[in-house]
Structure 1
Amino acid sequence: MSDDSIALSNDKDRMSQDNDEDNVTDRQLRLLVGLVVVLGLCTTAGLGAYTLLRLPDPPPAPLTLAALCGLMIIAHRTRVYVRVKSNIDGNTWAEVPVLIGLTLIPAPWVVFSAIAAIVVVRCLKWLGPQKTAFGIAKEALTTGSAAAVFLALGVHADLSQPAFPVLPIVLALAAYIVVDHLVFVPVLSVATGSSAWQVALHDWASKVILHLGELVAALLVVGVFATGTNPLLLLVVPLVVVCMHLWQSRSVRTREERESWQRLAKATDELNAVDLTQVLHSATTRAAQIFSAAEAAIDLTGRRVRATESQVLADGPIPADDVPPPDETTVDLIAHDGSVRVGVLRLRFGGSVRLTEVEQYKLRTFASAVCTAIRNAQAYAELARIAAENAHAATHDPLTGLANRRRLYDRAERLFRPSARSGLFALLLIDLNHFKEVNDTLGHAAGDHVLREVAGRLRDAAAPGDLVARLGGDEFAVLLTGLPTPALAGHRATGMLAALDASIEVEGMRLTVEAAGGIALAAGTGSVEELMRRADIAMYQAKRAGEQTVVYAHARDTADLERLLLTGELRRAVAEHEFTVDFQPIVDLGTGEVVAAEALARWHHPDQGSLSPVRFLETVERSGQLPAFADAVLEQSLIARQSWQEAGFDLPVAVNVSPRSLLDPTFPGAVLARLARHDVPADRLVLELTETLTVSQLDVVERTLAELRNAGVRLAIDDFGTGVSSLSVLSRIPVHQLKIDREFVAGVQTSTEAAAVVRTTVDLARNLHLTVVAEGVESEPQRRALWSLGCTSGQGHLFARPYSAARFLSTLQRGSGGRPGVLAVALHDEGSVVRLPARRLPNLPA
């Protein structure tokens, strides 16, 4: 069953329950009213019999009875209305003419007059047969109880010579009040659902003052008649009654208004919630309470909430056959500016009720507050939805819906905490074999379909608690958690990769996906990066060995584990200037003249001595210290070049650049700022790029390199020929120079293949107007062989080892054979070779 069906079923159950409760209440009311009517009939019949059997005197004059009935009608019509929930209670002055009449005419006739008066009043304002019968019966009981007190005390009523029975009047009033409450309170309690005490004590202070005023008025009138006092004093009675009536009416209205506004203010505070359901439930219950409604409801688009002041009756869809009841008052929930209508507030009073102007204003104020609260809750819900979507997007792969690298790292970091440990955990890194062929052959749409299918299979094969993530491209990772033994990691990994064995249908073709997985068990201490590194090593071992999975083993880790120890020392090394730069000269192979210098970074470790870049460069690149390291190397290189220039040697300086630096959009600006600070022309700086590392990032670094080249900085490709996409690099990276890898230089004499590579590189560079530098020139025969192949520049131990800036300058100044700036004997006699312009190095001095 759907959630909507369940909600609708629950609403039907609640409505059925509400109908059953209403039926019970109606039966109880009918029983109570019937009981009161029976008692009223019995009282009337008894007084009638008493009149016929015990009163020998003739009945009072019709005029007297008419006058008494008129006073009673006026007293009943003079009412101070008090609303109790959806019912209207009223305080009248009906007791005064009853008490006066009992002292002037026989008691039974007073009862008959009261019954006649209430019949006239009910006919003037018809409230239905049930309420009319109840009102007549109640009047018979209350007046009859007061008459019974006079009869029991033997008070003789005489219109011509009235007595002044103070005590009977007090007792008759008390009997009248008690019977009135005994009859009225239970009925009103059942009708409103309130407790009997709550109804009885409602507005008790005003009632006490009213009854005291009635007693005073009755005693005053009877006293004037009994003592023969000046009848003009009777004029005071209407004034007293009017004054007390006005006071009570004002007091009741003031109190009710104060309490109503207090309830409205409290309800407004409760509406300051961000949950829409809470707002609707609070608004409906408070509306029923504030406006004394039997029921309140709020209709939104397709949703209705109904409630009394004590409980929510229903919250669900609006019934299709909904018909508003005739006694319903509605108000639109509209914003202050009238631009937005969010719903309708409905009030049902259980009868015809006309709201006063103040109540209508209050209803509009409340509706406006409810509208604002609903819009705020809806806006908050929308913001929460957007935030949830953004949070999901930030931690999930948009193509497959799997977790992304960020979520994987967060989860793994939590698992590394000792408090979160619940067994062993491991990382499985999965890479699809030959996936590039799918994209190249069938297109990226087919490749995306394969990735989604693989992701679904891995997700289905994962154990509860495991996290499957896509790291990018065709690389997936699975965080294996809750492992009782390390061996189970391999078992789980095998099962997950087995899920990929079944073929995948793409565009009518069935493809078989192969993958290799590397497993790294998490150590007791460590980091996510180290766990990922180990899984990556194991995965590539699996690829090279042609195995499906390989578990990382410390003994087979070809990476220098010492780098892990160096990672924590990088910040100190940068701060303490432990990174220094040595310089190796680049020499014209023909003349032996120094034409440039290459900067080579060194780390003077306090414990391990001088470390070459091979031992620490990868660690620096993976840390956050790469910008500071690159900046320090460039700064020292430019300072050294400035010192050489001041000594008369205007040499370009070549600096190696990490591909990660080229991914930094601020890198070109930082380089150019350094050049400007040291007043170094841009063409005197050569940035050497590692071809094998930049090929995979050409799209990203092209813009950076173009900005540097346009500024005049010269670019070189280091270790040219060792990559697999050399021509792609040359076609996309605007370089000026190629540096032949030392592997080919070492075999240039003995290997025809190496010589062919050198010759091809030189010819290619000549056609592209590039210069060529040979690395690792160790012997004179190598120098001559390179020269014969057309390579004009080289560097290596044949000429000089890397020196500090100061020693490099001393070497330049000393030279060879007393010739400053020359480090080797020329290969030809001076003047025997004519240097052609096309053979000059564009970025090196002649």
Structure 2
Amino acid sequence: MSAAFPGPWGVVSVVIAAVAILALVAVLILLGRQRAQVRRANELLELSRELRHRYDALQAVTKEGVLVQSLAGRVLDISERAAAILGIDATSSVGRSVADLPVVLVNEMGLAMNPAAVLGHRTGVARAGWTVDSELVGVALPGTDTTQARMVQVASQLVPAGDGDAAAVLTTLVDVTGRREVEAALTRSEMQFRVAMENAPIGMALVDLEWRIVEANAAFAELLGTSVGALRGYRMEDLSTPEGRPAERLEVDHLLGGGQHRFSLEKRYQRADGHQVWVALDAALVRTPTGAPDHFVVQVRDSTESRLQAEMLTHRAMHDPLTGLANRTLLQEVLQSVLEQPGVVDRVAVLACDLDGFKEINDRYGHAAGDEVLVHVAGVLRAATARRGTVARLGGDEFVVVVQDLDGPRAVFEVAAAIHAGLQEPVRVARRRLNVAASIGIALADPESIEGGAPGLLAAADAALYRAKGAGRGRTEVYDASMAMGSPSDLHRELVAAIAEDQLVVHYQPIVDLADARVVGYEALVRWEHPHRGLLLPASFLSLIQEAGMSVALGQLVARRVVEFVASIHDRTRWVSVNVSADQLGDGEFATTLLSEISRHRLTAGRIVVELTESSLVASGTRIRHELTQLSAAGVPILLDDFGTGVSPLSYLRDLPVAGVKLDMSFTSGIPEDPTAGKVARALGALARELAMVTIAEGIEHEEQAEYLHRNGWRYGQGWLYGSAQPGDITR
């Protein structure tokens, strides 16, 4: 059977169908490609938008402004930051020529510049990516002159295909006005510091962390007698004497370790010429912003003169200015220190010495002659002691010797014999030969006597002295139990009896106006008319009263006596000052008694004055300050006694209701021979007058002192020149 073949039309149909299928496939392929291209275009558009968003976000946070322009100078794009720096609107600037932008540019000299030349395409810049040198220009914002132009750093570079297929110019602008101002301020500060350092009147140096001098000023070099160049690279610690180096090294290590920020030391430096000077060294550690140590700033001040003055003042505070002997304060410190050492029994003795008839010498020949006698006696005591102890003058003609020797009893008797022998030779005073003798009392350190400490042993020697004076004078007596004032209970009863039987009396020393020596008031001074030992001065019994706890009772007694005395004075303008200690303040009894007596006798304000006598007032509670304020408010002025003898009393001028000051006699006694004493008196007087306070100088013994003090602003004075303390019935 033969196969059947399609006819001509069948073939044509097959061909047409095949072509249709091919055409359909082609269309489908084209549609797929078109869709892919559309999708790709959309993706590129989205990417472009994302990149634009990121670009705008970056420009919003960056400090740099960006300007994009064609090679022809047409603005293609400008960031908001760039527009703000140039003072133009970003939106309206796009499409405009750079030369047409309302921008005013000036150079560092203030001369105008062409914006197109600064911001536009530079001739000769042909290859993309090449960055031109950055340039600092000034931009004058609208409404300001060129002197107020902000400084802008401009840098440009070519970028390929920045304008379609063509290259474009990318310009960055950075406002550096603040940075320039900071740099200028730092430069100015550095210059000011250097000028200040170079011209400072005290030594200054920059020191590295190895404690070596990096830079120093002329004052530092002059202090050490060398040159600035010689100091560079020198170790600071090598400038000081060997004994001062360990303490300095320790302070430096503390600074580096963070234990402190600065330190101060007073030490000695070795000058180039071999001499030594005292300096006050102040050092501070400078750290970097991260807190790491960087360098030291050091100041060195010559303190030689102030140190010598401080030592002189310290010496004056602890020594009698007339004789140069130790005073009461130093004596008590020395004796107490000696008694606290082991094995003092039979190695220590106290000798109390009082001149016989000294008052007659003063009255007949004057205080100048009396001073010469005291100086002579001081020399006799020094020679007799022969460096076996401490010689002190307690005041007037009272002397004490603390003898220290392996055989104390033997040594003290040798000293006493030498004193009597030395005084046998008359004293030559102004072509006169004056006979002087002394009564001596001795107290040996034994287990019983040292229990009372320094006051007890001094009191024992004082008791022996009174026995010697009562036995005919010019002799020596040794303390024994028969001279004792009894046991503590007996002593308490004796003191109670002294108050009850009016054995404690008040004497009054006149206070005068230095302008005319007119008596204006008195200082009340307590005395004990002891039935067996005679008239006792406060030094011999006040400490015993304090130990017995009777200070307040004594204060109340004195307050009553003083108010009665003031009420009996015919001259209603005169006043009396009462010494008050810390023991007598704080519980209100003294203040209550005093104010009650003033009210009962109807005394006017200001006629009773309170003198503060205790340095312990600063450490006392607010109760004492309250009582003083109460007294001051009631019309009882407060005086500061012993003014100038320490740092603490100066704080009273600020913390307490002080109305006046009394210059301590240790300064008065040095006038006019001691220029330092005169300067101190003048300075303290100026301070008191500046605070509008009453000024009184005590211890005046001759006219020269009175004239000097009055000339330098001290209004009132008291002392032997104007009379000693006398009973109330004599002074009325």
Bin the TM-score by the shorter chain. 0.3 to 0.5
Higher CA-based Rg: 1
In proportion to residue count, which structure has more helix? 1
In proportion to residue count, which structure has more strand? 2
TM-score normalised per structure 1: 0.30
